Amino acid sequence: MFYKYNSLIEGKDPAKIIKDGLSKTLVFYYPLAGRLIEGPNKKLMVNCNSEGIMFIEADANVELDKLGDSIKPPCPYLDLLLHNVPGFDGIVGCPLLLVQVTRFTCGGFAVGLRLNHTMMDAYGFKMFLNALSKLIQGASRPSILPVWKRDLLSARSLPSTTCIHHEFDERIE
């Protein structure tokens, strides 16, 4: 996500603003600060151990406008705007969220995000970003709280017959 210079945040560091917002957002999205572990039968589980996410600050010695249309997909600068941290592309024991804020000389900045998809789908990630935005703007909590009760999506037990139907007792050959 790219943001041009905005005079409303003159003198404020976008990386600090986003980092502070993330610390507030992760209170509600606490599993993202944990790590995946392998449970019985190789089932993945989240260990909510508060190890945290990975946050990277970077400075680019270029103005955002100089990048022109190259910031549109496919972006040739992706590896510079979202650092490929060795070992981060694993599944078990790795941070579940990586955020990189890159500041440009013009005052603009870019936010790169990498999420382990086992944690949430695109809609859930959109809700996370909405919560981050609202908390940065001063809200005390997200307008829609996340639900972490995965058991709500478990298959239910099949119903069992509790009434005897004698009309089905007779066998026809």
Task: Please write the tens of the pLDDT for every residue from 47-82.
Answer: 999 999 999 999 999 888 888 777 777 777 777 788
Which DSSP symbol is given to 118? T
Residue 18: is its pLDDT beyond 90?
A: yes
- Residue 25 and residue 140 in contact, taking contact as beta carbons nearer than 8 Å: no
User: CB 31: neighbour CB atoms within 10 A?
Assistant: 18
Residue 159: predicted pLDDT: 76
pLDDT of residue 125: 95
Q: How confident is the model at residue 40 (pLDDT cuts 50, 70, 90)?
A: very high
Note the pLDDT of residue 173. 67
pLDDT in tens, 137-152: 999 999 999 988 877 7
- For residue 141, the number of C-alpha atoms closer than 13 Å in the C-beta half-sphere is 5
> How is domain 2-145 classified at the CATH fold level?
Chloramphenicol Acetyltransferase (3.30.559)
What average pLDDT does this structure show over 149-165? 76
Return the domain boundaries, the chain.
2-145
At 136, is the pLDDT very low, low, confident or very high (cuts 50, 70, 90)? very high
- C-alpha torsion angle, residues 84, 88, 89, 95 (rounded to 10): -130
Higher pLDDT, 76 or 2: 2
Helices (H), the chain: 14-28, 78-81, 122-136
* pLDDT at 100 exceeding the cut of 70: yes
- 3-state class (DSSP) for residue 75: coil
Residue 9 contacts residue 21 (beta carbons within 8 Å): no
Exposed/middle/buried for residue 128 (C-beta within 10 Å: 0-12, 13-18, 19+):
buried
